[in-house]
Amino acid sequence: MHVVVSGGGTGVGAEIAQTLARDGHAVTILGRTEASLAAQNLPYQICDVTDEEAVAAACMAARNDQGPIGAAIANAGAATSLPFHKMTGSDLRAMTDVNLAGVFHLWKAALPDMMEAGTGRLVAVASTAGLKGYPYVSGYCAAKHGVVGMTRALALELARTGITVNAVCPGFVETPMLDRSIANIVDKTGMAREEAAKSLAANNPQKRFVQTEEVASAVMWLLSEAAQAVNGHALSLSGGEI
Give the model confidence (pLDDT) of 72-105 as tens digits. 999 999 998 899 999 999 999 999 999 999 999 9
The number of domains in the chain is 1
3-state secondary structure of 210: strand
Residue 10 lies in a domain: yes
3-state secondary structure of 204: coil
What is the set of active-site residues? 140
DSSP string, 116-138: HHT-EEEEEE--GGGTS--TT-H
Residue 33 lies in a domain: yes
- Rounded to the nearest 10 degrees, how much is the dihedral formed by the CA atoms of 125, 128, 130, 132? 180
Residue 67 has pLDDT above 80, yes or no: yes
Residue 226 lies in a domain: yes
45-57 tens-digit pLDDT = 999 999 999 999 9
In this structure, the number of other CB atoms found within 10 A of the CB of residue 224 comes to 12
Residue 59 lies in a domain: yes
Residue 63 lies in a domain: yes
Residue 203 lies in a domain: no
Q: What is the CATH number of the domain that holds 153?
A: 3.40.50.720
- Please give the backbone phi and psi of residue 33, each rounded to the nearest 5 degrees, phi first: -110, 110
Boundaries of domain holding 54: 2-172+210-237
Residue 99 lies in a domain: yes
142-190 tens-digit pLDDT = 999 999 999 999 999 999 999 999 999 999 898 777 777 777 776 767 7
Residue 183 lies in a domain: no
